[in-house]
Amino acid sequence: MTHFKFAGITLLVLLVAAVACSDSPSDPGPIETNEVSVQDNVFNPMTSLVAPGETVEWTWEGQNLHDVTWDTADLPDSPTQTNGTHQVTLPTEPGEYGYHCQVHGAPGQGMHGILVVE
């Protein structure tokens, strides 16, 4: 009986730990890369760390129509497409450059990305 109790408590602790760690499973945090995968329906990674002046490439890997549209930055948007790539050379000014998919970027749909230039 004691063994079962112990196993139960251990399982509970593991479950609590697992839940605590899965706060935002879709965004593991900034990832150092200049390659972003355009998937159904998420940018992977959502947040990329890139050096100033680097060229970033998005590659369409899903089935749905997606695009890359800059939130406020004056940079080239991509066409809305199901495959292909899009390349943008980033400014040299450090900062956060947000973008979204016009098809799936409404609040709650979550197809947003950020390039952190630093």
100 in contact with Cu ion (CB under 5 A): no
Residue range at the interface with Cu ion (CB under 5 A); choices 4-12, 22-30, 40-48, 86-94: 40-48
Do 72 and 96 form a contact (C-beta atoms < 8 A)?
no
Residue 103 interacts with Cu ion (CB under 5 A): yes or no = yes
What are the Cα distances from residue 9, in Å, to 1, 2, 4, 19, 68? 13, 11, 9, 15, 47
Stretch that binds Cu ion, among 3-11, 34-42, 77-85, 91-99 (CB under 5 A): 34-42
| Residue 104 makes contact with Cu ion by CB under 5 A | yes
Residue 101 binds Cu ion (CB under 5 A) = yes
CB 61 within 8 A of CB 94: no
Q: Does 88 bind Cu ion (CB under 5 A)?
A: no
Query: Mask of contacts with Cu ion, 55-74, x by CB under 5 A?
Result: -----------x--------
Identity of the residue numbered 47: T
Helix runs in 1-118, H state only: 2-21
Are residues 113 and 99 in contact, defined by beta-carbon separation less than 8 angstroms?
yes
Q: Please report, as ranges, the residues that interact with Cu ion according to CB under 5 A.
A: 41, 66, 101, 103-104, 111
